[in-house]
């Protein structure tokens, strides 16, 4: 299997889905919809929607049924980035190599574009799966849970609070990683399974695998922030150390962080292999991700 070619194929499907399932930039009010599309179209790895599409394929779904769900997950992820970049949060000027939404437009427009992408995620699922209300309902429940106050937003809140603390415990850091990062990655796999009518035991396996992928991903992100440069990352590098932020690298050191990232990836791969269908692509994707942290 050619990982890079396969990945390209998935990313192209996601881009196609984004073009199709998000209002045109010219929709009234144009400034709002332009800002929504600006942030969505800034690129990025599309990790979450790719995981979702590839998971659905494990369960035999090869058509475009999961595409609106994949777009919804990317809308949700993009909203969280836009709000996270705002001056009152991380105050970041650069994202995916381009000015952040509030830099390109203004704070109010960025705030509203984030709100609109979050709302669109739920609306798109409700609209796209109108003929399968039970599926729509399950997807929305999963998504609201992962993106809610106990998970994604809760992780962002604790992340902010941790920045003001002298010592953050490993348990607190794990809460942040599990919720700020892993929740949506976990959900992407679970939603892929739900679209593919996976059984309960399979959904549980997907959740465990997604959790491991998410934790590995966040540790690797911490490692790259400490070791790569801004041009490579497409976002400001070395930010964590500069802000004296408690990261995995700060708590456990670089060598041990790499070890844990590899362990998490390996256990994600082991979980994925329990699933039906051809898991070669998903396993290779996770392994390549881990290899980035060297």
Q: Where does this chain bind its own copies (CB under 8 A)?
A: 23, 27-29, 31-33, 36, 79, 83, 86, 88-89, 106-109, 111-112, 114-116, 118-120, 122-123, 126-127, 129-130, 133-134, 136-138, 140-141, 143-145, 147-150, 153-154, 156-158, 160-161, 175
Q: Cα–Cα distance between 285 and 57 in angstroms, integer?
A: 15
Q: How far is the CB of 108 from its own copies (least distance, A)?
A: 5
Query: In the chain, how long is the greatest CA-to-CA distance?
Result: 52
Distance, in Å, from the CA atom of 117 to the CA atom of 104, rounded to the nearest integer, reads 17
* Minimum separation from the CB atom of position 28 to its own copies (A): 7
Q: Minimal distance in Å, beta carbon 193 to its own copies?
A: 17
Q: Which is nearer to its own copies, 6 or 163 (CB)?
A: 163
Q: What is the DSSP string of 199-242?
A: -HHHHHHHHHHHHHHHHHHHHHHHHHHHHS-HHHHSS-TTHHHH
Q: Are 79 and 114 in contact (CB under 8 A)?
A: yes
Q: What is the C-alpha to C-alpha distance for residues 98 and 235, in angstroms, rounded to an integer?
A: 8
Nearer to its own copies, 28 or 62 (CB): 28
Instruction: Output the smallest distance, CB 233 to its own copies, in A.
Output: 23
Give least dist CB 204 to its own copies, A: 19
Q: Are 273 and 283 in contact (CB under 8 A)?
A: yes
Judge contact between 257 and 232, C-beta under 8 A: no
Nearer to its own copies, 2 or 127 (CB): 127
CB of 162 vs its own copies, minimal distance in Å: 10
Tokens of 100: 């952040």
**Min CB(175)–its own copies separation in Å:** 8
Helix (H, G, I), strand (E, B) or coil at 94: strand
Nearer to its own copies, 147 or 226 (CB): 147
Nearer of residues 120 and 264 to its own copies, judged by Cβ: 120
In the numeric block, which tokens belong to residue 171?
Answer: 């348990």
Q: In degrees rounded to 5, what are phi and psi of residue 48?
A: -65, -50
Which lies closer to its own copies via its Cβ, residue 12 or residue 89? 89
Pairwise CA distance, residues 76 & 48, whole Å: 10
Pick between residue 66 and residue 114 the one whose CB is nearest to its own copies: 114
């Amino acid at each position: 299997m050619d990982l890079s070619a396969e990945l390209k194929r998935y990313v192209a499907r996601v881009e196609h889905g984004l073009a199709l399932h998000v209002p045109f930039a010219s929709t009234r009010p144009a400034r709002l919809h332009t800002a929504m599309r600006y942030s969505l179209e800034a690129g990025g790895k599309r990790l979450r929607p790719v995981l979702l599409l590839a998971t659905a394929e494990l369960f035999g779904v090869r058509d475009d049924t999961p595409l609106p769900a994949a777009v919804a997950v990317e809308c949700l992820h993009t909203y969280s980035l836009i709000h996270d970049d705002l001056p009152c949060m991380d105050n970041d000027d650069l994202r995916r190599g381009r000015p952040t939404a509030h830099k390109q437009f203004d704070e109010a427009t960025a705030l509203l574009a984030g709100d609109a992408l979050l709302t669109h995620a739920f609306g798109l699922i409700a609209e796209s799966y109108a003929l399968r209300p039970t599926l729509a309902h399950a997807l929305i429940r999963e998504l609201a849970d992962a993106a809610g106050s106990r998970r994604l937003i809760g992780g962002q809140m604790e992340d902010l609070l941790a920045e003001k603390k002298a010592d953050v415990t490993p348990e607190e850091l794990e809460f942040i990683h599990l919720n700020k990062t892993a929740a949506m990655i976990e959900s992407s796999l679970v939603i892929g399974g739900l679209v593919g009518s996976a059984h309960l035991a399979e959904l549980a396996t997907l959740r465990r695998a997604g959790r491991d992928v998410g934790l590995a991903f966040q540790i690797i992100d911490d490692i790259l922030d400490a070791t790569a440069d801004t041009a490579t990352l497409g976002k400001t590098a070395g930010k964590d150390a500069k802000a004296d932020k408690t990261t995995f690298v700060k708590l456990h050191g670089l060598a041990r962080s790499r070890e844990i990232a590899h362990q998490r990836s390996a256990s994600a791969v082991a979980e994925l292999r329990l699933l039906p269908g051809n898991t070669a692509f998903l396993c290779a994707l996770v392994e390549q991700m881990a290899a980035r942290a060297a």
